[in-house]
Amino acid sequence: MIKVKLDLAKMSNVKVVQGKNKLPNGQFSTYLDITNARLFKGKTDTSGHTPYYLDLVMMDKKRSQFGDWRDDQTHFLAEDIKKEERDAGVKGAILGNASDISQRRTNDRPPQQSAKPAPNSPVEDDEIPF
């Protein structure tokens, strides 16, 4: 299983808009203005619902030089872009991170060894008589 968190406010051409309506909890409503976002409209179904989609790419994160991942985040998600944009050097916005919780990465580390003296160490096993 992979758990995902997305920051929709990081989508290309999306603006966070503070609403004027006060909610029951005392906070104001917040909206995302997605007029020019990379969403595309799907086919309206028989119930009249029109879906909107966003193509995402999920990629593996590389391990740091110390061999671990930050906060167990093993992947990141970015907006998918057209080939022409990719060839022009455009990169999709990174929207979030993902963690593969079915394969915890901490299991990749070698087991810890207990601190034992080396076989030829100067430590003697003789008990001190006083």
Per-residue pLDDT reduced to its tens digit, 70-106: 566 788 888 898 899 889 998 888 888 888 877 664 5
Name the amino acid, one letter, at 124.
Answer: E
pLDDT per residue as tens digits for the range 32-84: 777 677 888 899 999 999 998 888 898 888 766 655 545 667 888 888 988 99
What are the residues whose beta carbons fall under 8 Å from the beta carbon of 2, sequence distance 6 or more? 58, 75, 98, 99, 100, 101, 102
Is 77 contained in some domain? yes
SS3 percent helix, strand, coil of the chain, rounded to 5, is 10, 30, 60
Cβ proximity of 98 and 76 under 8 Å: yes
The range of the structural domain enclosing residue 15 comes to 2-42+49-106
Question: Beta strands of the chain (E only): which ranges?
Answer: 2-6, 15-22, 28-33, 40-41, 52-53, 56-60, 75-79, 94-100
Is 114 contained in some domain? no
Report the number of distinct structural domains present in the chain.
1
| Spatial separation of the C-alpha atoms in residues 66 and 77, rounded to whole Å | 23
pTM (2 d.p.): 0.57
Is 113 contained in some domain? no
Is 130 contained in some domain? no
Is 58 contained in some domain? yes
Is 98 contained in some domain? yes
